[in-house]
Each structure stands twice: as C-alpha cells, then as structure tokens.
Amino acid sequence: MLKEAVLRTGCLAGVTAAAGRSDEQELSVLCLRVLQAALVYVNTLMVQDVLADEEWVAQLTDADRRGLTPLFWTHVAPYGEVKLDMSSRLQLSAPMPST
C-alpha cells in the first residue's frame, strides 16, 4: 500500500523512474522506510537528551509538552552532500567510554 501511494503521488520520482522495474521500486520504498525509522529514532534520542536537562524541563509549558514529537526533519538536508565521519559518534546523552 505504501509503495503504491508513493508511486502514485510521485514521491521518489527520480528513484522509481530510474529503476523502471517493480522489484527495484519496491526496494527503494523499503529503503525509504528504513531511513525514516532511523531518522525518528535519532530525533527521539535528541529530544530525550534535551529533556534530561532540568533547565529545559522547567521552561516547558503543558502546550510545549503536548507538541513534542520526534517527527521533525528541518535539520535534514535530503538533497545535498552528506559527509559521514565513521570514526566519531553523535554526542547524545552521557559520553561513551572509549575502548
């Protein structure tokens, strides 16, 4: 169902049009779902990290708490070069002990 909706609405148009075959299109859509799940997971970790700070928690109103969601993506650059540094980690919560 998601695959069909994505294909109908034109999302991933460049990927699906280039693929040309339904099995490759399905793989593209499944990869998108994995990417979205990873994004929500990292966003959740970032929100939890901010909420661990007592100063921020004291500033939040009830409306702010109701509006918290990990479904934001303004910090994502989907059409650009992404440079990965696999030798470092995201600094979320307490630092990890070095091994």
Domain ranges for the chain: 2-67
CB atoms within 10 A of CB 27: 14
Interval 53-79: pLDDT, tens: 889 889 999 999 899 888 888 877 777
pLDDT at 63: 94
User: pTM to 2 decimals?
Assistant: 0.60
Q: Judge contact between 32 and 12, C-beta under 8 A.
A: yes
Helical packing angle, 22-51 and 2-9, nearest 10° = 100
User: Which tokens in the block code for residue 86?
Assistant: 């696999």
Residue with tokens 């793989």: 27
Mean pLDDT, the chain, rounded, equals 77
Radius of gyration of the chain (CA): 18
